[in-house]
Chain A
Amino acid sequence: MSEIPGDLKFNKSHEWARVEDDGTVRVGISDHAQSQLGDLVYVELPEIGSSVEAGNAAAVLESVKAASDIYSPVSGEVVEVNELLSDKPETINADAFGEGWIFAVRPSDRSELDQLLDAKAYEELIEHDEQ
């Protein structure tokens, strides 16, 4: 299992958020989550320009096993989606914290970021999960 990058914030539902230099927030799922889902075979991406709300489903990941909603950690407008995932959804399995990002949002309320777990709190959450 790969190390959890310290600059990420997390939903309890295992999505990560990274604030980029331009102020947008990039969203993906944790390495723990991809490992639990298993091999990913299809990603339903949000539309660029659509609005998402914190805690609401914004994308769908389909593994061989099941379909899972991806909840946006922040509200705002989708400004970018990871088109690579349309052909290579397994990128999430290979690099969940990097190349496997899913979409990016221009946040409408940056204070929502403060509601998220930091890397250390998230690590404790998944350790608790595994017991």
Chain B
Amino acid sequence: MTEKTVLNATHRALGAHMVDFGGWDMPVNYGSQIEEHHAVRRNAGMFDVSHMTIVDLHGARVKDFLRHLLANSIDKLKVTGKALYSCMLNEQGGVIDDLIVYYLGDTFYRTVVNAATRAKDLAWITQQAKAFDVEVKERPELSMIAVQGPHAREKVLALVHEVDRARIEKLAKFTAAAAQGPGGMPLFVARTGYTGEDGFEVMLPAEHTLAFWNALQAAGVVPCGLGARDTLRLEAGMNLYGQDMDETVSPWEANLGWTIALDAGRDFIGRKALEAQKAAGVTRVMVGLVLDGKGVLRHGQKVLTANGDGVILSGSFAPTLDKAIAFARIPVGEPGAVRVDIRGRELPVHIVKYPFVRDGKPCDGI
């Protein structure tokens, strides 16, 4: 059965095109995906991301548990509220999921994992948690609204109770804190996102979600669908689980080496496989592509290089750049003149360092 967020009727009333998204009935756009994309790059947009899975972890040994579970090092989190992006690997070094974990106390961390991988993630986390006597508690009663864009923070701050406002305004990037919203509703405000713009992701109880959404809309924040979220995160150079990496791909092959912490003496799941792969040499790499001519790069298209064929992972028209961009996985080594096969025609593309767009502007060389 398709699941619905508490804002489902609101999305429909706003005229959203709804699609099945990992088992959830979600808005892909409310009319124009491109206008929604620009609203986030230029002003402020909001996304219902309540389909994402919030899981709280409690226990005296929760830190030891996360040292074992995650490829990134939980010891990097030293200040309450600080967040970390990490992969959760299987023994073969393949990515089970990517997630964000928030440090909320010495016996309490909160993670947010993908909706499409909810069941397997919960099963895996619960199984691994047993040895550490950690309680794994899903929080389905919480909704999540991402408010993103150069003016997103000020729109949210205006709705935060004045006793909390200065504190939330000073919240550092990749940090979260509790605050009161309109009428004293409890908010968990995180300065995180998936768009390459500044902003907040706000978790709050389901019963207050509609009021908060409506208050944001009244303040001029534009409702945006998951279509715009996808083009925004691609421009921002952020991976999408299932498309850019999965259980058959290691972080080395997904340009996520920066999230692997090989700190001394830490025995995390997948570490042996990652070290063996690194020692033997990684054979596939993930790169950014730009198509300067007309056409659109799409998932699954063949990429031709001097060292053999690769494949497009995430690919789309990029509204900020007015051309097509993509991530591709190609054989390691000097790739020569790279082409993409689009309906039987080989079109030249060039490899670029990404992100493609940061803080509303094209990056150098794009």
Q: Which residues on A are within 8 Å of B, measured CB to CB?
A: 35-36, 38-39, 41-42, 44, 60, 62, 64-67, 86, 93
Asked whether any CB of chain A lies closer than 8 Å to the CB of B317, the reply is yes
> Per a CB cutoff under 8 Å, which of A39, A66, A86 touches B34?
A39
The total of Cβ contacts below 8 Å across the A-B interface reads: 40
- Give the chain B neighbours of A86 by CB distance below 8 A: 294
> Per a CB cutoff under 8 Å, which of B17, B34, B343 touches A60?
B343
Asked whether any CB of chain A lies closer than 8 Å to the CB of B296, the reply is yes
A62 and B295 within 8 A (CB)? yes
Report the Cα distance A86→B293, complex, angstroms.
12
Report the Cα distance A64→B33, complex, angstroms.
8
B294 and A39 within 8 A (CB)? no
Q: Which residues on B are within 8 Å of A, measured CB to CB?
A: 17, 28-29, 32-34, 227, 231, 294-296, 298, 316-317, 319, 343
Q: Main SS of chain B's interface residues?
A: mixed
B231 and A64 within 8 A (CB)? yes
A64 and B295 within 8 A (CB)? no
B319 and A64 within 8 A (CB)? yes
- Give the chain B neighbours of A42 by CB distance below 8 A: 294-296, 317
A38-B17, A39-B33, A60-B343 known; A65 vs B294 contact (CB < 8 Å):
no
A64 and B17 within 8 A (CB)? no
Interchain residue pairs A-B with the least CB separation, the first 8: A41-B317, A62-B296, A39-B34, A64-B33, A64-B317, A39-B33, A38-B33, A39-B32
B28 and A65 within 8 A (CB)? yes
Distance in Å from the Cβ of B127 to the closest Cβ of chain A?
37
A65 and B227 within 8 A (CB)? yes
Distance in Å from the Cβ of B296 to the closest Cβ of chain A?
4
Distance in Å from the Cβ of B299 to the closest Cβ of chain A?
10
Q: Chain A: which residue is nearest B345 at the CB level?
A: A44
Distance in Å from the Cβ of A62 to the closest Cβ of chain B?
4
Report the Cα distance A67→B312, complex, angstroms.
15
Distance in Å from the Cβ of A82 to the closest Cβ of chain B?
15
Among A35, A39, A66, A86, the most chain B Cβ lie within 10 Å of the Cβ of A39
- Give the chain A neighbours of B32 by CB distance below 8 A: 38-39, 93
Distance in Å from the Cβ of B76 to the closest Cβ of chain A?
36
B29 and A38 within 8 A (CB)? yes
Among A38, A44, A64, A67, the most chain B Cβ lie within 10 Å of the Cβ of A64
B296 and A67 within 8 A (CB)? yes
Q: Chain A: which residue is nearest B225 at the CB level?
A: A38
Report the Cα distance A65→B34, complex, angstroms.
11
> Per a CB cutoff under 8 Å, which of B227, B294, B343 touches A64?
B227
Q: Chain A: which residue is nearest B343 at the CB level?
A: A60
Distance in Å from the Cβ of B298 to the closest Cβ of chain A?
6
Report the Cα distance A66→B317, complex, angstroms.
10
> Per a CB cutoff under 8 Å, which of A38, A41, A93 touches B296?
A41
Report the Cα distance A42→B231, complex, angstroms.
16
- Give the chain B neighbours of A44 by CB distance below 8 A: 295, 343
- Give the chain B neighbours of A67 by CB distance below 8 A: 296, 298, 343
Report the Cα distance A35→B31, complex, angstroms.
8
